[in-house]
Chains A and B, each alone.
Chain A
Amino acid sequence: NAGVMQNPRHLVRRRGQEARLRCSPMKGHSHVYWYRQLPEEGLKFMVYLQKENIIDESGMPKERFSAEFPKEGPSILRIQQVVRGDSAAYFCASSRDTGSLTSYEQYFGPGTRLTVT
């Protein structure tokens, strides 16, 4: 499967625990984005990363949330001390770096549905 991979697909955490969501971009894509979808809502941008760099994290909550995209391995979205309000679907997307329209086309993974109990 050459698409964007996310795991786990479903994650249940108790309040106060940590959640780690993983994303492997499509082959040939060097840009990764994380979005959050609350029930009955569209997707909201959280963070944009390139390898070893956070380019834009303007959509990330100031506390408890962090993201990384290391030189080797998948991108990780980490939520510390989860609360019930963190329950949502978290989508990862990736894109190429070509300087054309295709740079702006983002392809999404299947999402991780986080449930905080």
Chain B
Amino acid sequence: AQTVTQSQPEMSVQEAETVTLSCTYDTSESNYYLFWYKQPPSRQMILVIRQEAYKQQNATENRFSVNFQKAAKSFSLKISDSQLGDTAMYFCAFVTGSNYKLTFGKGTLLTVNP
């Protein structure tokens, strides 16, 4: 079975600080892609960052970066210089090369405090 575990239901951080959201996943396949999605109060799902499993280099998108540990099946998201607009639910997800179904974790609610 393919699963995603986000062990932190809620987190909070002060504006301008750095926060890391954890994610572990399980799949028997070797070819897959990992994603972090953000869901603000508007409930729109926004793609934040993606990582190809065969690439060792960690992906970076502006203030967002990941720590991808393939052997440990870990894919954490680091948000630097947190902003109030980063307040949202964050979902970790992956899709394997053999199908196109995204498997999501239950999410982490991040609150950025002024």
Contact = CB atoms under 8 A, between A and B. Distances in A.
Interface in A62-89: 89
Contacts of B4: 42
A104 B106 contact: no
B104 A44 contact: yes
How many chain A residues sit at the interface, stated as a range, is 20 to 34
A108 B103 CA distance: 14
B95 A104 contact: yes
A107 B101 contact: no
B15 to A, nearest CB: 26
Contacts of A12: none
Interface of A: 31, 33, 35, 40-45, 48, 55-56, 58-59, 89, 91, 93, 95, 101, 103-108, 110-111, 113
Given A42-B107, A43-B91, A43-B104, A110 B43 contact: yes
Contacts of A56: 99-101
B101 A101 contact: no
B42 A42 contact: no
B33 interface: yes
Nearest to A101: B52
Pairs A-B, 5 closest by C-beta atoms: A42-B104, A108-B45, A45-B101, A104-B33, A43-B104
